[in-house]
Amino acid sequence: MRVLGIESSCDETGVALVDASGDGVPTLLAHALHSQIAMHQAYGGVVPELASRDHIRRVLPLTREVLATAGLALSDIDVVAYTQGPGLAGALLVGAGVAASLGAALDRPVMGVHHLEGHLLSPFLSADPPEFPFVALLVSGGHTQLMRVDDVGAYELLGETIDDAAGEAFDKSAKLLGLPYPGGPHLSRLAEQGNPEAFALPRPLLHSGKPDFSFAGLKTAVLTQVRKLEQQPGGITEPQRADLAASTQAAIVDVLIKKSLMALKDTGLKRLVVAGGVGANTRLREQLNAACEKRRVRVHYPELHLCTDNGAMIALAAALRLQRDMAKLERGGGFEVKPRWDLAQLSEPSRL
């Protein structure tokens, strides 16, 4: 069984083809991605209308590219999966519309996938896939959550951010430091030259005793520091910018690690999966690996290029559900998107 996956929830158009024959972990046959970063950079963030229009331009050429790479034809696709939510409504509608049209034209079922379920399950495409159950740290541009994952579709929310997401904290702090969008990778690069202990930045809710997060205060603290440094004669220096970037990254990473360890301790689980764009952060990976090794906890990440949005994770999540007979398949050409959609709502009532 071959599943085509289409991702268009934000600023990346991703298409992929996964083979889910048998019961084994599905394999990735081909994937293609177009990032809109260069287009949105001029505006300092994602412009939803431009994102939608660009998805329209890219999705069919990417689909052709994926099929050509896999050496297959449209008629070889058995199921068409697409990101149904959460995300930008207009952007989601592009992927959903194309998926529904392909399904109708090919007479194949169509399936909506939860974007965060895609991220969460993406490490199953890595060379060292995890086993259930595990704790998942989901750190993307819009979400920061700790989940207990017992199986595909069995997700229990342990804690989440009460305000900004970790990716948002990276992006907003980066903007204050004059770095281009999306700030996370840029801030992380600048931080390599700085001292993470140069500035004492807040680590909100670190001692709350619960696996929850708050990052809004960090951004305010970075703003205060930037303003102070800009007032000195000559303004903020390059070494100071690097120090502030390193200190910001250290504050975010410290909180993510402490709360992940807390969730592991509370659940008694010995396996952690890190997914979402911030999971690409080198300092987070290094420090988390060290902390988990000490506690004999196995950590799994998606392949680096599958940390940020992509079509492979959407095709994979669909394939894993199909293998377990848990897929909600649709026919008839209609479609619906869910710009706001909690991952915990996906859990099968019988499993809770």
Answer yes or no: is 141 a known binding residue.
Answer: yes
Answer yes or no: is 309 a known binding residue.
Answer: yes
- Would you count residue 164 as binding ligand KG4 (CB under 6 A)? no
* Signed CA dihedral, 275, 277, 280, 282: sign only: negative
311 binds, among ligand KG4, Zn ion, none (CB under 5 to 8 A by kind): none
To ligand KG4, the closest distance from the beta carbon of 278 in angstroms equals: 4
Q: Residue 273 is inside which H or E element, if any?
A: strand 271-275
Nearer to ligand KG4, 117 or 309 (CB): 309
- Would you count residue 347 as binding Zn ion (CB under 5 A)? no
- Would you count residue 277 as binding ligand KG4 (CB under 6 A)? yes
Answer yes or no: is 184 a known binding residue.
Answer: yes
Torsion angle (degrees, nearest 10) of CA 178, 33, 137, 245: -20
Nearer to ligand KG4, 7 or 19 (CB): 7
Q: Which stretch binds Zn ion (CB under 5 A): 78-86, 92-100, 171-179, 307-315?
A: 307-315
What's the CA gap between 143 and 159, in Å, rounded?
Answer: 11
Binding ligand KG4 (rule: CB under 6 A), the pick from 36, 83, 84, 140 is 140
Binding ligand KG4 (rule: CB under 6 A), the pick from 278, 299, 318, 343 is 278
Site string for ligand KG4, 76-115 (x = CB under 6 A): ----------------------------------------
Question: Concatenated DSSP letters for 49-75?
Answer: HHHHHHHHHHHHHHHHHHHHHHT--GG
What's the CA gap between 151 and 121, in Å, rounded?
Answer: 10
| Token output for 227 | 């303003």
- Would you count residue 308 as binding ligand KG4 (CB under 6 A)? yes
CB 159 within 8 A of CB 146: yes
Nearer to ligand KG4, 184 or 311 (CB): 184
Beta strands in 86-230 (DSSP E): 110-114, 134-139, 144-151, 154-160
How far is Cα of residue 109 from the mean position of the Cα atoms in its chain?
26
CB 271 within 8 A of CB 300: yes
Interacting positions 137-156 with Zn ion (CB under 5 A): 140
Annotated binding site: 115, 119, 138-142, 171, 184, 281, 309
Q: Please report, as ranges, the residues that interact with Zn ion according to CB under 5 A.
A: 140, 309
